[in-house]
A and B are shown apart, each in its own frame.
Chain A
Amino acid sequence: MLEPINVSLESLNLGTLTPMLIAICGALAILIIDLIKKDLDKSLYVMLGILILAVDLGSVLGQQVNVRGFFDVMLMDGIAIVSQVIILVGSIIFLPLALGKKRFHEYKYPEYFAMFLFMVAGLQFMVATDNLILIFVGLETASLALYTLIALHNRERSFEAAIKYFTMGALAAAFYALGSAILYALTGSVEIGQIAQALGDRNFEPIVLILAAAIFMIGALGFKLSMVPFHTWTPDVYEGSSAPLAGYMSIMPKVAGFVVAIRLFEFMIQSGIWWVHDTLMVIAVLTMVLANITALVQNDVKRMLAFSSISHAGFLMLAIVIGTTKANSALFLYFALFMFTNMGAFTMLWISRHKSNKFHNRYDHPFEKFAGMIRIQPVGAVIMALFMLSLAGIPPFSLFWGKIYVISAAVDSHYITLAIIMALNSAIAAYYYLKLIVYMFLKDPAQNDGTAYVKNASKSLQTVIGICAFVTLASIMFVGPILDTITYMMQVSGF
């Protein structure tokens, strides 16, 4: 007969679960409201969603640092908190984008917003644990919700995108499962900390199995982070999803993926398994360079931004390869700034979205669409140019600070060649960002209808753009305090 298990409620430390529970309960509440009263306007769900996420954010900020909970499965360390804050703030920016002037199919359904909150909860689970199983659960919750969100956009291309993402994601999940299975077989544990310990004890033998596990993990996370050669889904999926969702996808799931990557690969790199280090470095450099070169020849702004976000991910992967506290802080600083700039750029595409493709028979946002925008919509053009310059790393706009901090981390660890490669890649990248600026500022207008760029503009979209533009422009004012906070959080969690 089994002994009854006695668990005191205090040792469970349920406080570590509250952030996710808030998101999940919020999602359920939205579903229940829909059951009770039909035909409520989307604005209700948007505002409700923002409130839920704000409470969620509050509970994250209220967490103590470095606390474990719920049978020691949850781990609220510094990176968990920092990354959750980034994810939640990004999600709060994302939600109002549903309130465009044009009606889009997906926002009619309250399930869209419920699904979105489930996804956020999934991402939060992913970052707030070092248990391989819970990471897997979070990863799959978030991914399945995300596939549906993409498909809800309800155009042929969206279905294609969702299916493509789904099949690729399933493959990645399989890789992940295999990788974790091998690690479990080797060490008898699913907790990354204990795995590291056990592997260290046995002196990283047998190397073949560890190699297999690492390769599977690199494959799995490579899909999620769209590393070369696992990146091919990215541009199509971004193209098929609505602009705000594409912007969202380019950041928040990647933040979560990077947190898992830091937890998984950092101990391998630190313990001197050099081929993991070298493989990651080669993959990261290739990602950065190839994505940059492919971005040069794109005809559509959204596809260009898709490749640019791949390239940024490669750049940030190098921060993991470098692996110092400074590099990891730089990674999160970069994401915190990148979030605003990239969301802003995608929102600029979103407000110019038409129901029908007027400028190109395939693309929504070909470069020609923006020709001569400065003469027709000067404010819009200047703001878009601001985002592009920031993405290109022109000082003093936000991404420059992330960029120099990553490069400086590389220099500190004596990766001078790497630093030069990173710097020169910024120069290549500048070309395609400039291409849009050239179209907007230096070409003759393609049309005289100023409303073409603001077809979908509403007060809430303009507010989001305003916030993003302000952060991008004025980042010089608050990059210091943000950096200090992030560095502190990294130090306490030992990364």
Chain B
Amino acid sequence: MDHILSVLIFLPAVAGILGFLVDKNSAKTYAITVAAIEFVISLWLWMSFDGTNSGLQFVEMFPIVSSFGINYYVGVDGISLFLIVLTTFMTMISLMSLTITDNVKNLVLSVLFLEMTMVGVFVALDAILFYVFWELSLVPMLYIIGAWGGPRRVYAAIKFFLYTFAGSLIMLVGMLVMAYLYYEATGVWSFEITEWHKFVLPFEYQLWLFAAFFIGFAIKVPMFPFHTWLPYAHGQAPTIGSVILAAVLLKMGTYGFVRFSLPMFPVASVYFIMPIAILSLIMIVYTAMVAYAQKDIKQVIAYSSVSHMGVIMLGLFAMNAEGLGGSIFLMISHGIVSGALFMLVGVIYDRKHTKLMSEFGGLASVMPKYATIFGIMLMASVGLPLTIGFVGEFLSLLGFYNVSHTITLIAGLTIILGAVYMLTLYKKTFFGPVEHEENRKLLDLNKVEMASLAPLVAVVIWLGVYPKPVLEPIDNSVKSLLSFMEEKTEALETRYDNSDEALEAIEEAKNIIVVSQNREAE
């Protein structure tokens, strides 16, 4: 199938438009069906994807504004493939577990539009196309948080929107500068990411452009000083909003680093390793501590989700195949695990309309199935071996060990801190006597909830035990990305003879960027 990516992008959007005509009582079923078809297509994409090929596949291209070099240009490689599958999978699951009944038609249609933008971000290979989907994803999310959220939903929704919008406008200026530099050097306008990858930028420009893109991506991730919008958004969002936000939207930021910052500005990326590592470390430690102090179950999970994003950032900037590959794997596992945890919180919230830990206790005896699944997800979240969370976290930290022993050590210790707050949460909620009598009447998971949670459990254990089918394609693409960065760094070196700072940075970059740690042995 030649146009499988276009189908994947636009199927949900077309379905969303047609969905206006579907009766409001059938809209949910309609949306689930569409999401399921979309998921099947993405599985088909995975099956027909050539895992041994590290390049871009299923590429499609036609011009939009040809004189300005803007094209509709999409393609997929090992890095984006699993993020696409994650997107379609989590959208389907979150729609299945949807319990909101008020105005549900508008909600599910927004989710379908959101799915289009999320898939679009991961397959776009043209910077402007990427930006289009990136910005467009804010709109349905604004509506989802703002219309179905908690009491302060409007504030949370606007904060989410404006924060991200402001950051990405800086990124847009960065893109336009990049395009102009490319134009100056080659005489052709182009926004193709693949062309930009080949273009060797002088060191000074790399620094500035890296900073511009960093603001856009870091707000989305969210990196430490820019993270304040996220707890609000999570706290106020409805369950489906939190699930999609944590599972997919945050990954757009980290994906942006892989797609843009690392290959385009390899030297600047190495130059900024330490500041970014320290910010990530603060993100890991600080949010873990904040999480421990929360009384609200959802807030604990929100902060723990930010904390784990810090590990992903560390892995990304490890600049070697283990770290980068592990961090991309961690994006997938974080998507599944944090999505599942938010769904689990949603289950209990639907029953009791509160998320405070103090309102629960002893749930293990009342809701055994629920307690089991919560336990599995929790273990995956803290990174227990043989669960999905372990693989990525281990590889990310292993990768970063190459860069800095101390930071890796502190980050590794924080995983224990993570275990502390998660286990405390579990203890307070599930163990001990049932303190509130009305909790005895709580029903265990019903069939729909089981049906939506069981696949997640299966994936968590399957990929925890046998991650190879996912890791291998990622590894191939990551290695080609890294060797590419190496080449670019070397190409840049020949251009400088006397600029000490630039040469130093390039030298460092050459040392840090390693395709594989055991290269010498080969």
Contact = CB atoms under 8 A, between A and B. Distances in A.
Contacts of A434: 142, 158, 161-162
A424 B106 CA distance: 31
B161 A430 contact: yes
Interface stretch (B62-70, B222-230, B316-324, B418-426): B62-70
Contacts of A404: 128, 172, 176
A407 B65 contact: no
A279 to B, nearest CB: 25
Interface centre among A408, A412, A419, A479 (most CB of B within 10 A): A408
Interface centre among B157, B173, B177 (most CB of A within 10 A): B173
B131 interface: yes
Contacts of B290: none
Contacts of B139: 389, 394
Nearest to A408: B176
Interface stretch (A196-204, A234-242, A260-268, A480-488): A480-488
A401 B65 contact: yes
A44 interface: no
B166 A407 contact: no
Interface string B40-66: 000000000000000000000001111
B179 interface: yes
Contact of A483 (B68, B142, B158): B68
Contacts of A400: 132
Interface residues of A, number: 36
Contacts of B367: none
A416 interface: yes
Interface string A362-405: 00000000000011001000000000010000111000110011
A480 B162 contact: no
B285 to A, nearest CB: 31
B180 A412 contact: yes
B484 interface: no
A401 B180 CA distance: 16
B65 A396 contact: no
Nearest to B146: A442
Interface string A471-495: 0000010011001100100000000
A438 B146 contact: yes
A424 B68 CA distance: 23
A483 B173 CA distance: 20
Contacts of A487: 67
A480 B177 CA distance: 20
A446 interface: no
A422 B406 CA distance: 42
Contacts of B135: 394-395
B68 A405 contact: yes
A427 interface: yes
B177 A416 contact: yes
Contact of A408 (B143, B146, B179): B179
B249 to A, nearest CB: 16
Given A401-B65, A411-B180, A442-B154, A423 B162 contact: no
Contacts of A416: 173, 177
Contact of B176 (A395, A407, A438): A407
Contacts of A437: 142
Contact of A430 (B67, B147, B162, B170): B162
A411 to B, nearest CB: 5
Contacts of A420: 170, 173
A124 interface: no
A396 B103 CA distance: 27
Interface in B143-185: 143, 146-147, 153-154, 157-158, 161-162, 165-166, 169-170, 172-173, 176-177, 179-180, 183
B445 interface: no
A419 B143 contact: no
Interface string B115-141: 000000000000010011001101100
Interface string A411-454: 11000100110011011001100100110011100000000000
Interface residues of B, number: 38
Contacts of A378: 20, 106
A400 B162 CA distance: 17
A391 B20 CA distance: 24
Contacts of B176: 404, 407-408, 411, 419
B131 A442 contact: no
Nearest to A394: B135
Interface string A67-85: 0000000000000000000
B158 A480 contact: no
Nearest to B158: A434
Interface in B64-86: 64-68, 70
B162 A479 contact: no
B67 A480 contact: yes
B159 to A, nearest CB: 11
Nearest to B148: A442
A444 B170 CA distance: 34
B67 A426 contact: no
Contact of B165 (A405, A430, A441): A430
Contacts of A442: 143, 146-147, 153-154, 157
B213 to A, nearest CB: 14
A318 B165 CA distance: 22
Contacts of B142: 434, 437
B460 to A, nearest CB: 35
Nearest to A374: B106
A407 B174 CA distance: 11
A389 B153 CA distance: 20
Interface centre among A396, A442, A483 (most CB of B within 10 A): A442
Contact of B103 (A375, A401, A405, A426): A375
A19 B169 CA distance: 42
Nearest to A425: B169
Given A395-B136, A407-B173, A441-B146, A480 B66 contact: yes
Nearest to B145: A442
Contacts of B70: 480
A426 B169 contact: yes
A389 B142 CA distance: 12
B154 A438 contact: yes
Contacts of A375: 103
Contacts of B165: 427, 430
A408 B67 CA distance: 13
A51 to B, nearest CB: 34
Nearest to A375: B103
Contacts of A483: 65, 67-68
Interface in B85-127: 103, 106
B169 A479 contact: no
Nearest to A419: B173
A483 to B, nearest CB: 6
Contacts of A443: 154
Given A404-B176, A411-B177, A424 B169 contact: yes
Contacts of B103: 375
Given A395-B132, A430-B165, A476 B64 contact: yes
A462 B60 CA distance: 37
6 contacts: A395-B132, A424-B169, A434-B158, A438-B154, A480-B65, A480-B70
Interface of B: 20, 63-68, 70, 103, 106, 128, 131-132, 135-136, 138-139, 142-143, 146-147, 153-154, 157-158, 161-162, 165-166, 169-170, 172-173, 176-177, 179-180, 183
The 9 tightest CB contacts between A and B, nearest first, are: A423-B169, A395-B132, A427-B166, A442-B146, A480-B65, A408-B176, A411-B176, A396-B132, A419-B173
Given A401-B65, A412-B183, A423-B170, 20 more contacts: A378-B20, A394-B139, A396-B136, A405-B68, A411-B180, A419-B173, A419-B176, A423-B173, A424-B170, A427-B162, A427-B166, A434-B158, A438-B157, A442-B143, A442-B146, A479-B64, A479-B65, A480-B63, A480-B70, A483-B67
Interface of A: 374-375, 378, 389, 394-396, 400-401, 404-405, 407-408, 411-412, 416, 419-420, 423-424, 426-427, 430-431, 434, 437-438, 441-443, 476, 479-480, 483-484, 487
